[in-house]
């Protein structure tokens, strides 16, 4: 792998930018190619076969046309339904978000009972239930199909990122912003149903996994809506951590004065390092809605996304 590796990051839309952000924090000295398959979003309502076709086409674009040497599938839906297909389709290491998400749940949960919110397709696949079970956890999964469109429309208020401090305290005000109020009501509806199901099944959940990479953008609202004592976790941070270990392992590089390929936890980073370094290159691609990507992408990434290039991956 090159000293400055090209890392491909893929999602159906903007949500994967939450994973890209976490990756840049840990691996600033890299070239990133991010693809949002916005023309074919949402993946979450589609069949395994269709998701696998879309995801493998996207993966091939990043590897064969952008030179990605390592691929992060920053989409739970594609990770849950198409990880094997993607691994078969490209000759580079591929990391999905489900296993890091389950590992983070294991680290967070004391009761061993976790709740997962995700897209319809992810829930139908049972991937989180299986991954959690492998970690000795019981899981209940709930599909929340309205949340991705609300995020893609930007009905989220100002995004708040983990390093900004207590996320719930910074939740956008639902009373002051009518769009945020709609999103808040939808979140509370889904969580209410999930709470009722957990109680009916005798669960004692203490952890809620955001099983869709769009949902961290709703984290402040979700944290305000969960029951007391329930910790909200997402797989962006744990996926970035896993990617860092894998890439450092492969490259076998030591920390050096240029900051090349270092492996640090986010809390170890000084504020300067939490921003993209001079050596970070981010190239964004989308299959549609380039203007919207440029408008909303920087808010989601917390860094300028620059000029987003339109790519055509077919129908």
Q: Does 12 bind ligand DGL (CB under 6 A)?
A: yes
**Nearest-angstrom CA–CA distance, 171 and 158:** 8
Q: Which is nearer to ligand DGL, 117 or 171 (CB)?
A: 117
Q: Write the binding mask 197 to 236 for ligand DGL: x where contact by CB under 6 A, - elsewhere.
A: ---------------xxx----------------------
Do residues 29 and 261 make contact, with C-beta atoms less than 8 angstroms apart? Answer: yes
The position carrying tokens 């509806």 is 189
The count of chain residues that interact with ligand DGL, using the rule CB under 6 A, is 17
> What does the block give as tokens for 213?
């990479």
Q: Considering the complex, what minimum distance in angstroms separates the CB of residue 32 from ligand DGL? A: 17
212 is catalytic: yes
Positions in 236-295 near ligand DGL (CB under 6 A): none
The position carrying tokens 């808040």 is 184
Task: Tell which residue, 19, 23, 37, 54, has the closest CA to residue 293.
Answer: 37
Helix axes 17-26, 290-301, angle to 10 degrees: 50
Helix (H) or strand (E) holding 228: none
Q: Which is nearer to ligand DGL, 44 or 302 (CB)?
A: 44
Q: Does 43 bind ligand DGL (CB under 6 A)?
A: yes
Q: Considering the complex, what minimum distance in angstroms separates the CB of residue 79 from ligand DGL? A: 8
Q: Which is nearer to ligand DGL, 30 or 151 (CB)?
A: 151
- Work out which of 122, 183, 239, 287 binds ligand DGL, going by CB under 6 A: 122
The position carrying tokens 């680290």 is 107
Q: Does 15 bind ligand DGL (CB under 6 A)?
A: yes
Cβ atoms < 10 Å from Cβ of 229: 11
Q: Which is nearer to ligand DGL, 28 or 36 (CB)?
A: 36
Q: Which is nearer to ligand DGL, 32 or 128 (CB)?
A: 128
> What does the block give as tokens for 269?
């980073």
**Nearest-angstrom CA–CA distance, 175 and 29:** 42
Q: Write the binding mask 57 to 96 for ligand DGL: x where contact by CB under 6 A, - elsewhere.
A: ------------------xxx-------------------
**Nearest-angstrom CA–CA distance, 158 and 126:** 32
Q: Which is nearer to ligand DGL, 50 or 197 (CB)?
A: 50
> What does the block give as tokens for 273?
């390092």
- The residue sitting closest to ligand DGL, measured at its beta carbon, is 44
132 is catalytic: no
Where does this chain touch ligand DGL (CB under 6 A) — which range of 40-48, 125-133, 265-273, 298-306? Answer: 40-48
Q: Considering the complex, what minimum distance in angstroms separates the CB of residue 123 from ligand DGL? A: 10
Residue 19's beta-bridge partner residues?
A: none
What are the DSSP calls for 70-91, one per residue? EEEE--HHHHHHHHHHHHHH-S
The Cα angle at residue 125 between residues 293 and 208, in degrees rounded to 5: 70
Q: Which is nearer to ligand DGL, 28 or 285 (CB)?
A: 285
**Nearest-angstrom CA–CA distance, 264 and 115:** 29
- Work out which of 44, 96, 100, 162 binds ligand DGL, going by CB under 6 A: 44
- How crowded is the C-beta side of 273, counted as CA atoms within 13 Å? 18
**Nearest-angstrom CA–CA distance, 102 and 109:** 10
Q: Write the binding mask 146 to 185 for ligand DGL: x where contact by CB under 6 A, - elsewhere.
A: --x-------------------------------------
The position carrying tokens 């744990």 is 238
Question: Contact positions toward ligand DGL, by CB under 6 A?
Answer: 11-13, 15, 41-44, 75-77, 119, 122, 148, 212-214
Catalytic residues: 75, 212
């Amino acid at each position: 792998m090159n000293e400055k590796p090209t890392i491909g990051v893929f999602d159906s839309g903007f949500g994967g930018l939450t994973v890209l952000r976490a990756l840049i924090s840990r691996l600033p000295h890299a070239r990133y190619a991010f693809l949002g398959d916005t023309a074919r979003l949402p993946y979450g309502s589609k069949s395994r076969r269709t998701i696998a076709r879309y995801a493998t086409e996207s993966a091939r674009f990043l590897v064969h046309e952008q030179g990605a040497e390592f691929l992060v599938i920053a989409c739970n839906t594609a990770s849950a339904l198409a990880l094997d297909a993607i691994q078969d389709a490209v000759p580079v290491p591929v990391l999905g978000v489900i296993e890091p998400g389950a590992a983070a749940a294991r680290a967070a949960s004391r009761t061993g009972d976790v709740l997962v919110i995700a897209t319809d397709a992810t829930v139908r696949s049972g991937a989180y239930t299986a991954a959690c079970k492998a970690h000795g956890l019981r899981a209940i999964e709930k599909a929340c199909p309205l949340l991705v469109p609300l995020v893609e429309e930007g009905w989220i208020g100002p995004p708040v990122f983990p390093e900004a401090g207590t996320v719930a305290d910074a939740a956008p005000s639902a009373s002051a912003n009518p769009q945020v109020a709609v999103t808040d009501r939808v979140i509370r509806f889904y969580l209410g149903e999930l709470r009722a199901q957990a109680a009916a099944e005798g669960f004692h959940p203490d952890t809620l996994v955001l099983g869709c990479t769009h949902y961290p953008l709703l984290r402040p609202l979700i944290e305000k809506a969960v029951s007391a004592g329930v910790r909200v976790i997402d797989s962006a941070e744990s996926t970035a951590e896993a990617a860092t270990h894998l890439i450092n392992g492969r490259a076998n590089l030591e920390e050096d004065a240029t900051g090349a390929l270092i492996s640090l936890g986010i809390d170890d980073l000084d504020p300067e390092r939490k921003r993209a370094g001079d050596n970070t290159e981010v190239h964004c691609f989308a299959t549609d809605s380039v203007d919207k990507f440029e408008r909303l992408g920087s808010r989601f990434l917390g860094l300028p996304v620059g000029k987003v290039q339109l790519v055509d991956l077919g129908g």
